[in-house]
Amino acid sequence: MEIDAAREVRTTCPYCGVGCGVLAKVAADGQVSVRGDPDHPANFGRLCSKGSALAETIDLDGRLLHPEISGRRAGWNEALDLVASTFSQTIAEHGPDSVAFYVSGQLLTEDYYVANKLMKGFIGSANIDTNSRLCMASSVAGHRRAFGSDTVPGTYEDFELADLIVLVGSNLAWCHPVLYQRIAAAREKRPGMKIVLIDPRRTMTADIADLHLAIAPDGDVALFTGLLAYLGQHNALDCGYISAHTAGFGQALFAASKLDLAGVAAATGLSEDELTRFYSLFAATAKTVTVYSQGVNQSSQGTDKVNAIINCHLATGRIGKPGAGPFSVTGQPNAMGGREVGGMANMLAAHMEIENPEHRDRVQRFWNAPAVAQKPGLKAVEMFQALADGRIKALWIMATNPVDSMPDADAVEAAIKACPFVVVSDVLTNTDTVRHAHVRLPAAAWGEKDGTVTNSERRISRQRAFLNLPGDARPDWWIVAEVGKRMGFGEAFSYSSLAEIFAEHAELSGFENDGARDFDIGAYAGIDAAGYRELAPFQWPAPSRQESDTLAGCNPSSIRFFADGNFYTPDRKARFIAIRPTVETRTSPDYPLILNTGRVRDHWHTMTRTGKSPRLSQHIAEPFVEIHPADAGHHGISDADIVRISSPRGDVLVRALVTARQRQGSLFAPMHWTDQFAARGRLDVLTAPLTDTISGQPALKHVAARIEKF
């Protein structure tokens, strides 16, 4: 493809789930510049530090530019033939469940769609899971339990319309900065808007909060269960809404009433006064949005946390209305798109359910597929455990770096090393995962590839290429489709354009969908290449469904679900979930502290891109651990000391940052640094492969640890 260098190209940022619009331009001398797209409804021209530095991360240094087999350069035909024949042979000898794909929220929706179609429709296994499992699987499970569908009800506009924003387990100022900026700007216009932050440490987000509750790690279930009980005791329920649109309230309230205020205080580490301040504010504020992120999702109780929050919104009828609702902000740029195409081991395409025989039959007929998967596949943690014990014999990893990002990372690395056949599609030659691949496939990078992504408010936007493909690099959808053809499924994978894939995905979403499924962009089924090229950002459901789901009087470009009180359960009523908080003791005399993990403002994931920008590395140049002064004194640690943090699985060396912003008894360390950037800095060698039993999401947020001066 030849790129028109004189033109600004409208695309989207490849980092977080805010999904900001970006205008990218290539000057005559080849220099790339980016700026925020003033017309994109996610950011209206704003960009954060990471988005602004995108042009500094796209050079070809370290790029994987040619296919490689066992370290030697190969041609595409040889590499694709080898991948296809090895997967086919493994399936023939050991069955379809002996192979797996581990994919990524970095993939574009079209890439994801083709990979999911190959595994679930043609190979006949559901062993395709994604690093989005690490990010928001608990929200998916919570949505499905409460709403009967994986639906984010609200929009970003609700953040600006709310009178109270409750941020739970979210350092929005650093992790979703443009949403933080939108809230800050709205608050400046309406100073009466209140913000509550619920987070074990005093993050930068706390600086804007009227109330910061420094909750004990995993205290969220008790906090929101206690809130439900408080709402019941203080006449703050919307009884009309509960009886007309929900089921299960009595059981949920009964379970919540087992915990009195003193019990909540004990479970959360908060004072009764702090709890009462928060509860009374929530009870009195109709326009409340509860925004939650990894502090909620990355927990062994993640799904219960999500439902404890949703229970409080259902009990007050605060859902589907302007300025009100529970809101999960996703970490990855296309976690939502992956969900839409069924790119998780327990879902089918177009939000259909793998356990539902009618859904399997529908997908089989639509794809004319020979072998639709009949049962859920292995979720991320299970997948790498199956790799370790030999059940998975061929693995294809796309656009992600599990050797550094999975919990119990050393065990994951050992499992990958021991696997007989590992394929990695990536843009770089030197990640800790790519190094272990038998076959390396050069993928197209941001700026070189086209497709769509969906952000946290269900808004589908185009990513557009503005650079030519370097070397032999190819888009992920093309690579997967070529393997599909070589495995004998030519007819189903003979796509001639991206528009064709998007149109097929849209058509499937509307196929035999009479309103019983939430995800429906069937109106785009007939899109042609020109329409796809010019596609403007839009929220689903597609226009034909929008009228019934939108409240009159709000921005017509912001589409809310559940405005009419109808959900996607068989009786159209939302479900309360009866939840009893459980207290897990993680610490022990050997590991007396809780290590919380998270992110810093200017880095992304395992730094494979942001690590290239000197500007981004200026903000925080090395891995660190925050420790409360009292804990530091107890362990003989001074500010700036090099310390060793240990868990039962390993240890890392980082610099100590002694600060009262940190909760006593807890540590905080970011997850970005790998051995490439800091010796013994891989934080996820410490975390445990413990998961939420409902969602399968790893409890990456914290682990028991000890600390000592090095």
Binding site for ligand SF4 (CB under 6 A): 13, 15-16, 18-20, 43, 47-48, 50-51, 176-178
- The most distant pair of C-alpha atoms in the chain lies apart, rounded to whole Å, by 71
Residue 178 or residue 403: which is nearer to ligand SF4 going by CB? Answer: 178
**Rounded-to-integer distance, Cα 235 and Cα 229, Å:** 10
**Rounded-to-integer distance, Cα 473 and Cα 350, Å:** 29
What are the backbone dihedrals phi and psi of residue 698, each rounded to the nearest 5 degrees, phi first? -70, 145
Residue 53 or residue 168: which is nearer to ligand SF4 going by CB? Answer: 53
Q: Where are the beta strands (DSSP E) in 254-402?
A: 288-292, 325-328, 394-398
How many CA atoms lie within 13 Å of 420's alpha carbon, on the beta-carbon side? 14
Strands 68-69 and 72-73: antiparallel
What is the smallest separation between the CB atom of 251 and ligand SF4, expressed in angstroms? 39
**CA-CA-CA-CA torsion sign (633, 638, 639, 642):** negative
What is the smallest separation between the CB atom of 16 and ligand SF4, expressed in angstroms? 3
**Rounded-to-integer distance, Cα 660 and Cα 684, Å:** 25
What is the smallest separation between the CB atom of 169 and ligand SF4, expressed in angstroms? 18
Residue 51 or residue 322: which is nearer to ligand SF4 going by CB? Answer: 51
**Rounded-to-integer distance, Cα 352 and Cα 368, Å:** 16
Residue 51 or residue 598: which is nearer to ligand SF4 going by CB? Answer: 51
Residue 43 or residue 285: which is nearer to ligand SF4 going by CB? Answer: 43
Residue 311 or residue 463: which is nearer to ligand SF4 going by CB? Answer: 463
What is the smallest separation between the CB atom of 347 and ligand SF4, expressed in angstroms? 24
Cross-strand partners of 708:
644
Cross-strand partners of 11:
22
- Contact between 470 and 484 (Cβ < 8 Å): no
Residue 133 or residue 176: which is nearer to ligand SF4 going by CB? Answer: 176
HEC letters along 360-418? HHHHHHHHCCCCCCCCCCCCHHHHHHHHHCCCCCEEEEECCCHHHHCCCHHHHHHHHHH
- Tokens representing 39? 């017309």
Which residue's CB comes closest to ligand SF4? 51
**CA-CA-CA-CA torsion sign (385, 390, 391, 392):** positive
**Rounded-to-integer distance, Cα 395 and Cα 306, Å:** 32
Residue 18 or residue 83: which is nearer to ligand SF4 going by CB? Answer: 18
CA angle at 414 for the pair 408 and 417, rounded to the nearest 5°: 140
**Rounded-to-integer distance, Cα 366 and Cα 527, Å:** 18
Q: Running DSSP on this structure, what letter comes out for residue 122?
A: I
What is the smallest separation between the CB atom of 55 and ligand SF4, expressed in angstroms? 13
Residue 329 or residue 481: which is nearer to ligand SF4 going by CB? Answer: 329
Residue 246 or residue 463: which is nearer to ligand SF4 going by CB? Answer: 463
Residue 18 or residue 594: which is nearer to ligand SF4 going by CB? Answer: 18
What is the smallest separation between the CB atom of 50 and ligand SF4, expressed in angstroms? 4
What is the smallest separation between the CB atom of 46 and ligand SF4, expressed in angstroms? 7
Nearest CA to 5 out of 23, 35, 36, 32 is that of 32
What is the smallest separation between the CB atom of 180 and ligand SF4, expressed in angstroms? 8
What is the smallest separation between the CB atom of 165 and ligand SF4, expressed in angstroms? 17
Residue 90 or residue 400: which is nearer to ligand SF4 going by CB? Answer: 400
What is the smallest separation between the CB atom of 242 and ligand SF4, expressed in angstroms? 36
What is the smallest separation between the CB atom of 485 and ligand SF4, expressed in angstroms? 34
What is the smallest separation between the CB atom of 558 and ligand SF4, expressed in angstroms? 18
- For residue 238, count CB atoms less than 10 angstroms from its CB and return exposed for 0-12, middle for 13-18, buried for 19 or more: middle
What is the smallest separation between the CB atom of 493 and ligand SF4, expressed in angstroms? 31
How many CA atoms lie within 13 Å of 316's alpha carbon, on the beta-carbon side? 29
Residue 48 or residue 607: which is nearer to ligand SF4 going by CB? Answer: 48
CA angle at 575 for the pair 572 and 581, rounded to the nearest 5°: 170
Residues in Cβ contact with 203 at an 8 Å cutoff, skipping those fewer than 6 apart: 171, 173, 174, 197, 661
What is the smallest separation between the CB atom of 51 and ligand SF4, expressed in angstroms? 2
**Rounded-to-integer distance, Cα 74 and Cα 77, Å:** 8
Residue 13 or residue 140: which is nearer to ligand SF4 going by CB? Answer: 13
Strands 593-598 and 666-670: parallel
Write the DSSP assignment of 553-613 as a string of letters.
Answer: TS-TT---S-TTS--SSTTS-EE-------------SSS-EEEEEE--TT--TTSTTGGG-
Residue with tokens 């800091």: 678
